[in-house]
Structure 1
Amino acid sequence: MSQSLTGGAVGRRDYLQPVMAGALAAVVGYASTFTLVLAALTAAGASPQQAGSGLMSVCIAIGILNIVVSARVRLPVSFAWSTPGVAFILTVGEPVGGFPAVAGAFLVAAGLIVLTGLIKPLARLIAAIPSAIANAMLAGMLLTLCLAPITAVAEMPLLALPILLAWVIGLRFARRYAVPIAVVVTGVLLATTTHLPAGALDGSWPVFVPVMPVFTLDAIVRIGLPLYVVTMASQNLPGLAVMKANGFDLPPAPLFILTGIASAVTAFFGGHSSNLAAITAAICAGPEAHPERSKRWPAPISAGVVYLLLAPGASLAAAFIAASPPLLIQAVAGLALLSSLTAALAGALVTEEMRLPAIFTFVTTASGITILGVGAPFWGLVGGIAMLVLLRFGIKPPVENTGI
């Protein structure tokens, strides 16, 4: 009997570790960037109700994906929203046609993701984008947001300094929880200093707000196509790489199709792209979930349940975000994205031959230029690839002797 009890205890521990890891991944992923999602949707023209609907719909979508896929294949396949994608959306502003045009762009990006799963040459084309160029483009998009914490300290020190201090203390004593700690401090500050307009919380119980997509060339070129590239290059492909690094070699096509379909559904409710998780996937698929790879699959299921539990709070969070100083929200988002900026810059500059094209991509993207109605991330990507081709296959300029 003692052996039976011991076996039962071991079995419970086998499940407890991945369940705790999955819950941690979901809480960290949500708390670190939900403000960024709401700020991005609002900047793109969404009302607080539409922004709350968008966040809730994506939470439900990735919750269902995490639960169903992991339970079906018995592998720790993790899904999340596209943090680089919402960071990009925050930089482009409201297009011609307003938020319905944004929803149309979301739908176009979702359709392209599905096509990537169905058409192998398209998947190979995206995979052929050099990782250094993709990382440099991402770093250029993140730079402005990552400067926001310093700008906020200069413009509203009484609010921004406590948040920055909480983040630094978190880095020192609980690195994994640094951003959630900063988010909690921000929530306390907003709750005590923000005055919501009369009736702002009326009907704050979450509701889906349908958005009828409108297709405009401006939104498709400025948002849809770059969002597709960013989601594939900065989320889906790194997500597959994280899984492979932990011993799980996944067929990508079915996953692209599933995430594309989920993204298409949420687009009708104001939600942006769902995709493979990258950073939080390392928690669910790595040794932290369980020493044995075969026992890690419950982690994403646990994460999915947590996302479903967090979804109802989207509307209330959106009301507070809408009434808060935009710079303060951007500052918290900037702190959450500093690690992403660090990783992107490191990936962009890892090899010497790629550094100049990567830097050109970075500065072009960070410039925020718009040419022929097309935003800077696209031109950064095109410019970096063109320079790489020129340096590899063109006539290389002579190296000057700068020694004294």
Structure 2
Amino acid sequence: MSPLARIRATAPPSAVAAGLIAVTVGVTSAAALVFTAARAAGADAREVSSWMLALGVGIAVTCAGLSLRYKAPVVTSWSTPGAALLATSLSGVSMAKAVGAFVFCAALIMVSGLTGWFARIMDRIPVPLASALLGGVLLEFGTGLFSQMGGSFAIAFPVFVLYLVARRLLPRYAVVVALGGGVAASVLTGGWHLERVRLSLAQPVFTAPEFDWKVLISVGVPLFVVTMASQNLPGVAVLRASGYEVPVSPVLTWTGAVQAVLAPFGAFGLNLAAMTAAICTGDGAHPDRQRRYLAAVWAGVFYLCVGLLGATVASLLTAMPHALVLAVAGVGLLATIEASLASALSDPASREAAVVTFLATASGVTLLGVGSAFWGLLAGVLTSVIASAGRRRRAIASAPAPRSEAPGADTPLLDAVEEAPAGGR
């Protein structure tokens, strides 16, 4: 194989673009929360950049390693709801005690993977409900494409039109064309503020963990719960709804192990991605679904770059127009949203439960610190259980009364007894 052919095989433009878009969406939607959480623990500038470095390295290792191992687009990320939780719960907590909570959370994730209890729960979730969950998680990004046309029409509309045209003429590169057009439109409209970008490399800062039982219970346990319910659960649903049967328990074990190693440097939570994973599992990542794992590998490469340039990322986020991120994410997820809704409504018996799952997940409700993905799935399962019980009762009520096969197949037992001779009683 020639060098050019080898490059094309390992770095197809659609897969590279999908990986880049996934990282861009993930970073721009949650990096600010990471910075806020680090500041809440009293982190200085060096420690904040160390958090980004640890998270970037951890995601890169798990993304690339797990995707190559299972030949499936296994995309990981940091725990966005976990970062939001830490931003409000780390006030007054020392960095050492916070790191202790991160290590404790990682240990709980490893235990859930080694025991296999989380995988057993996921095996019982019907595919239509998993697809509805995915559709609800992605709805915000799908509508974001059109909501941005109100205030940033000059950026969002060209992205949408170029995507539609490219889908007919160059379907493999539709998202790439849309991204290029969006960048050009945002530059022409003056949406970029490159003067805010500062280039600097991150340095690792080690903090020895300190285990305080109060912090472990008040921070470590909630961090584990929201990571599993709001991130890993929809992350598994994305993979299964896309047809990838990746073993859940080993994946969780590895993400927990990597988090435990990198927690002293600031890796507070590593988990399966949901929204960004859908970008790498869709048709836009690669026409051959067996090759879409390359998109996740490239996502890992770009996350490594984000980690190495931790401090630079923050300045770049302020320079990039937010409308561009939402518009490109919207077109990149159109095919995935379409497929998830079609799968969710494919079975009439579970259609009502799928709709409930979709609506509850899309609502964005947060209860007890747990995101809508968990509550949406719970509402769907509850609807399915009640509906199934109702169908069973109706089936029993409408079933014909049992008839005896003796002495005649068509003779009721009571009549047969009455007709029997006296000596036979």
Q: Is the 8 A contact 1:136 1:359 kept in 2?
A: yes
Aligned length: 366
Judged with a 3 Å threshold, the aligned counterparts in structure 2 of structure 1 residues 175 and 339 are, in CA distance, closer, same or farther, namely same
CA contact (8 A) 1:109 1:228 kept: no
Change (3 A) 1:230 1:78: closer
Q: Deviations over 1:287-326 (max 9, x none)?
A: 875xxxxxx99x6998589558855567655533323443
Letter in 1 for 2:75: A
Match of 1:81 in 2: 76
Distance 1:374 1:288, change over 3 A: closer
Q: SS state of the match for residue 141, structure 2? A: helix
- Please point out which of 352, 358, 367 is paired with 1:356: 352
Deviations 1:338-371 (A, max 9, x none): 2222222122112111110010111122223344
Partner of residue 176 from structure 2, selected from 180, 198, 201: 180
Equivalent residues of 2:353, 2:384 under 8 A apart: yes
- What TM-score, normalized by structure 2, do the two folds share? 0.66
Bigger shift: residues 153-162 or 319-328? 319-328
Q: Distance in 1 between matches of 2:146 and 2:113?
A: 41
1:355 and 1:258 mapped to 2: Cα distance?
35
Report what 1:140 is aligned to: 136
Offset from partner CA, 1:125-165 (integer Å, 9 cap, x none) = 12212222122122112212211111111222122222222
Partner-residue secondary structure (3-state), 1:96: helix
Residue 8 of structure 2 corresponds to 20
| 1:353 alignment partner AA | A
- Percent pairwise identity: 25
How far residue 263 of structure 1 moved from its aligned partner, in angstroms, is 4.7
Which amino acid in the other structure matches residue 89 of structure 2?
A: G
- One-letter code aligned to 1:231: G
Structure with larger Rg: 2
Q: Which residue of 2 aligns with 1:402?
A: none
Which residue in 1 is equivalent to 2:405?
none
CA distance in 2, matches of 1:336, 1:93: 29
The residue correspondences of 1:52-91 to structure 2 (distance < 5 A) are: 60-61=57-58, 63-65=60-62, 76=71, 78-81=73-76
Query: Within 5 A, what are the aligned runs for 1:285-364?
Result: 303=298, 307=302, 310-311=305-306, 316=312, 318-364=314-360
Pair 1:41-2:30 in alignment: yes
Corresponding residue for residue 6 of structure 1: none
Shift of 1:384: 0.6
Other-structure match for 2:117: 121
Q: Deviation of residue 375 (structure 1)?
A: 3.5
Distance, in Å, in 2 between the alignment partners of 1:66 and 1:336 is 19
The answer to whether the 8 A contact 2:156-2:324 is kept is: yes
User: What is aligned with 1:234?
Assistant: 238
Quickly say closer, same or farther: Cα 1:19–1:278, change in 2 above 3 A: farther
What amino acid is the match of 1:34? Answer: V
SS of 1:115's equivalent in the other structure is helix
1:35 is aligned with what amino acid? Answer: T
CA–CA distance in 1 between the matches of 2:143 and 2:336? 13
Q: What SS class does the counterpart of residue 133 from structure 2 fall into? A: helix
| Change in CA separation of 1:127 and 1:202 when aligned onto 2, cut-off 3 Å | same
Structure-1 residue corresponding to 2:380: 384
Tell whether the 8 Å contact from 1:95 to 1:219 is kept in structure 2 after alignment: no
Farther off after superposition, 278-287 or 107-116: 278-287
Partner of residue 97 from structure 1, selected from 89, 93, 96: 89
**2:153 matches 1:157:** yes
Question: What SS class does the counterpart of residue 330 from structure 2 fall into?
Answer: helix
CA distance in 1, matches of 2:4, 2:325: 35
CA distance in 2, matches of 1:184, 1:52: 30
Seen in structure 2, the aligned counterparts of structure 1 residues 315 and 35 have a Cα distance that, compared at 3 Å, is: farther
Quick check: 327-336 or 186-195, which moved more? 186-195
- 1:29 is aligned to 18
Q: Which residue of 2 aligns with 1:166?
A: 162
- Structure 2 unmatched runs, 5+: 39-44, 210-214, 395-425
Q: Which residue of 2 aligns with 1:366?
A: 362
Distance 1:187 1:264, change over 3 A: farther
State the distance in 2 between where 1:332 and 1:113 align: 33
User: 8 Å contact 1:369–1:375 — kept in the other structure?
Assistant: yes
Q: What corresponds to 2:271 in structure 1?
A: 273
Written as runs of structure 1 = structure 2, the 5 A alignment for 1:192-203 is 193-194=190-191, 196=193, 200-203=196-199
Structure 1 unaligned runs (5+)? 1-11, 245-249, 290-295, 399-404
Q: Deviations over 1:156-180 (max 9, x none)?
A: 2122222222322332222232223
Contact 2:234 2:373 in 1 (8 A): no
| 2:397 match | none
Alignment partners' CA distance in 2, 1:103 and 1:189:
43
Question: Which residue of structure 1 lines up, in the alignment, with residue 389 of structure 2?
Answer: 393
Partner of 2:410: none
Change (3 A) 1:129 1:202: same
| Secondary structure of the corresponding residue to residue 273 of structure 1 | strand
User: Residue 388 of structure 1: CA displacement?
Assistant: 0.3
2:229 corresponding residue in structure 1: 225
Shift of the 319–117 alpha-carbon distance from structure 1 to 2, 3 Å rule, reads: same
The 3 A distance-change label for structure 1 pair 324 and 279 is closer
Q: Which moved more, 1:328-337 or 1:41-50?
A: 41-50
- Give distance in 2, aligned partners of 1:183 and 1:285: 18
